[in-house]
Structure 1
Amino acid sequence: MRKLAIIFVLLSTIACKNKVIQKPVNYEDDREKFMQFSQDRNKQILAEDNELIANYIDSIGQKFVRTQYGFWISNSGIATETMAKTGDVVKYDYEVSNFSNEIIYSEEELGTQTIMMGRSDLPRGIQVALQMIEKGDSATVLLPSFLAYGGYGDRNKIKGNEPLIFKIHIQTIEKQPR
């Protein structure tokens, strides 16, 4: 046992004599290149989404309004006092499809949804669109991918960077006291 301890101490001492010094690595150049690449890629994706949406609007002949938020909606796109606001409870039905007119999620599959505005994990574009539709009305919403499910998709049926069409019908809006 004593011999084993002596061997261990000797090996430990010998191993420490050959130190390799690791110099710090500077990634600043790589970070700047990556950020520029990322910005350029996102601009390219947005341009492709916008072109796809414009072609879709031209092909169906329906009037859409581009909102200040970066998506298109088939109604006036102007919020009123009777529309949902943050904190209101909204009951709605919707359908999701892609720009090839393939239904990704049907109304039957999704069922009626009830959410409190501002407290759900819906995509940002849908959160805003729900606040632009009157109780009892319907609207079609065309979302570029960054306002839909972004670069990851929903990890189920919706692909990453996929612009989407949402057909939404608001059943009820339960206004909360302000």
Structure 2
Amino acid sequence: MSRIVIILACSLLLVACKSPEARRPISSKSGSFIDASVARNIKLNEKEQAYIKKIMSENPEEEYIASENGFYYFYNIKQADSLISPDFGDIVNFNYNIKTLNDDVIYTKEDIKTQNYVMDKQELFSGLREGLKLMKTGETVTFMFPSQKAFGYYGDENRIGLNVPLKCEVSINSIIDN
């Protein structure tokens, strides 16, 4: 009887010392949803870029500049004598409006009012944030932003719908070095 107890105890120890096995998922998902979303966004961006280029070709009197950040712009008023562009933490006082690419007004400068923005320390849609860095005091620039540089997939949950490319006329009143 004691022999059986010893064998039983040893076999229990051997079974109890087995290392745990990782549990496998019941089902695995592929990245097909993400892949489809990326493909959709690439097509949307190509379509918006083509439309912006069409607008630019219809307005040859403007000297459009392609930014490194994926949007286009031209100077309405350019200041050659001003050397100061805003840097991180500088306070920029500016006005802007928001239109569709077809010049339908969404928000006027009066709707938005004069803004004071601390560079890269406050929320602002990415295209405008990058656009302000290209400007100097006294300049007015018209930007054309594809939707992913504007309000993107969500819009502004008010007047700007989802995936709407925008045109903004921006004027910098002052830059306070901080």
Is TM > 0.5 for Structure 1 vs Structure 2?
A: yes
Per the alignment, residue 17 of structure 1 pairs with none
Structure 1 partner of 2:128: 126
Question: Residue 101 of structure 2 contacts residue 144 of structure 2 at CA under 8 Å; is this kept in 1?
Answer: no
Residue 175 of structure 1 aligns with an amino acid whose one-letter code is D
Is 1:155 matched up with 2:157?
A: yes
> TM-score, structure 1 length as denominator?
0.79
Amino acid at match of 2:37: S
Alignment TM-score, normalising by the size of structure 2? 0.79
| 1:11-160 equivalent positions in 2, closer than 5 A | 24-29=25-30, 32-61=31-60, 62-75=62-75, 82-160=84-162
Name the stretch that deviates more: 57-66 or 163-172. Answer: 57-66
Helix, strand or coil: the match of 1:168?
A: strand
Partner deviation per Cα, 1:129-164 (whole Å, 9 max, x = no partner): 001111011001111111100101000011111110
Distance (Å, rounded) in 1 between the aligned partners of 2:94 and 2:135: 10
In 1, Cα distance between equivalents of 2:155 and 2:166? 11
- Stretches of structure 2 that go unaligned for 5 or more consecutive residues are 1-23
Shift of 1:112: 0.5
After superposition, what is the alpha-carbon deviation per residue over 1:31-76, rounded to whole angstroms, capped at 9, x for unaligned?
Answer: x110110110010110011011111111222111101111112149
- Measured in 1, the distance between the counterparts of 2:26 and 2:105 equals 49
Q: Which has the larger radius of gyration?
A: 2
Opposite residue 137 of structure 1, the aligned amino acid is E
- Displacement of 1:28 in angstroms is 2.1
Q: Secondary structure at the match of 2:167?
A: strand
d(CA) in 2 for partners of 1:43, 1:129: 22
> Does the Cα contact within 8 Å between 2:83 and 2:136 map onto a contact in 1?
no
Q: Secondary structure at the match of 1:28?
A: coil
What is the distance in 1 between the residues matched to 2:128 and 2:118?
A: 13
- Count of residue pairs the alignment pairs up: 149
| 1-structure distance, mates of 2:45, 2:137 | 31
AA at the equivalent of 1:127: R
